[in-house]
Amino acid sequence: MEQFFRLKEMNTTVRTEVVAGITTFLTMVYIVIVNPAILSSAGVPFEQVFMATIIAAVVGTLYMAFFANYPIAIAPGMGMNAYFASVVATQGVSYQVVFGTVFLSGLIFILLSFTKLRETLIESIPSALKYGITSGIGLFIAFIGLKMTGIVVPNPATMVAFGDLHEPVTLLSLTGLFITLILMARKLNGALFIGMVITAIIGLFTGFLKFEGIVSAPPVPVVFDLDLAGVFTHGLYTVVFAFLLVTIFDTTGTMIGVAEQAGLMKGNHFPRAKSALMADAVASTVGASLGTSPTSAYIESSAGVAAGGRTGLTSVVVAVLFIISMFFSPAISAISSLPAITGPVLIIVGCFMMEGLTRIDWKTFDEAFPAFVIMLSMPLTSSIATGIAIGFVTYPLMKLVSGKGREVHPILYFFGILFAIQMAFFPAH
């Protein structure tokens, strides 16, 4: 094992890697609760999402461990699960059709991993759009968290308004949010997970959380519960592209960030990048075939790196702990059904995703406005795809009229025209 993962060469030990793996797992295990909570709201059976979430995480993380030898964990990504639910709600299609879009985007991601097109796509899209997309998703999922918990409520006059603090679940949600924020401020490893546990304990003593069991045999996975034909029947090409684009940006950025933190980058070169990206692509495809939204590399992996993780052995430990969590589906089902436990996580993760705003040149209007309009449109239209489309139309147009048209890559003009036609003649309803 030491030779396979090159522990001595990476100046680490088995004990250090195990501790790092446990640390990473504790910081990201919330996804096992939050993902089923979000996707079950779109009609997907809880047990199906629960097993698909864990299996996708195990497949992607083990692939990362054995083929790329990185301490980076893979699991269904936050933001994409919320977008999945919104597509089911707004497009009038079944969740099986949306799983078809996830499966297709995963296959395209796998194919792109064998070509230079992936690098070309990443390099051609300007930072303003990349960071605008990530930040827009952050606002989108934070807004969903606020709605779930009743902190904001519908209002005919103003669209939304502040919720009623006399509502017990809203009060419990705010309590859980502030507890978790305190833990985050104290930089406690696993703060999100520990905050959920404390909130669950409060919910248990106040009667809002009821357990019908703690441990049971893992639910039987449902295989290929997806509808590929429906993707083409309903013309959900923009949705496929949205899943693909966000997954590529999110995964690539996270992997490079964690690799830099661990000192694994060789200058600007990301060693074994193809294998690392393939881990995410394979996990997304497997996850879609079983019943979950696209996967992504988890920035929480940085907690494990901070604890000393440097090799794929850290990822193996994470995968083993995910497998163990399969046996706790009754407890996780009860916890995920209480919005006060899962909602605060969405709000805080939304904040994490705003980090890229500092990298946008806000003093240059033709850079700033496309990013701004992406962030504005995603939560207000409840559609990540719409936000991406508006950004891709606005950016090249503004550069063109500013006399900076040559700064824009031809791919952006192509997608800008494509999205303009789609929004004008084939709008999503």
Q: Is 6 contained in some domain?
A: no
Q: Is 220 contained in some domain?
A: yes
What average pLDDT score do residues 30-36 get?
94
Q: Give the confidence band of 20 by pLDDT, cuts at 50, 70, 90.
A: very high
Q: Quick one: CA torsion of 376, 381, 384, 390, rounded to 10 degrees?
A: -60
What tokens were used for 131?
A: 């960071």
* pLDDT of amino acid 249: 77
Q: Is 5 contained in some domain?
A: no
Name which of 237-251, 272-286, 370-384, 406-420 the model is least confident about: 237-251
Give the separation between CA 222 and CA 96, rounded to whole angstroms: 12
SS3 label, residue 244: helix
* Enclosing domain of residue 163: 14-425
Q: Is 339 contained in some domain?
A: yes
SS3 label, residue 387: helix
Q: Is 383 contained in some domain?
A: yes
Q: Is 2 contained in some domain?
A: no
63 phi and psi angles, rounded to 5 deg? -60, -45
What average pLDDT score do residues 109-133 get?
82
Q: Is 289 contained in some domain?
A: yes
Q: Is 400 contained in some domain?
A: yes
Q: What is the pLDDT of residues 261-292, one digit of tens each?
A: 888 877 667 788 889 989 999 999 999 999 99
pTM of the model: 0.84
Q: Is the pLDDT of residue 340 over 80?
A: yes
**What is the domain count for the chain?**
1
What average pLDDT score do residues 163-174 get?
94
Q: What is the pLDDT of residues 83-97, one digit of tens each?
A: 899 899 888 899 999
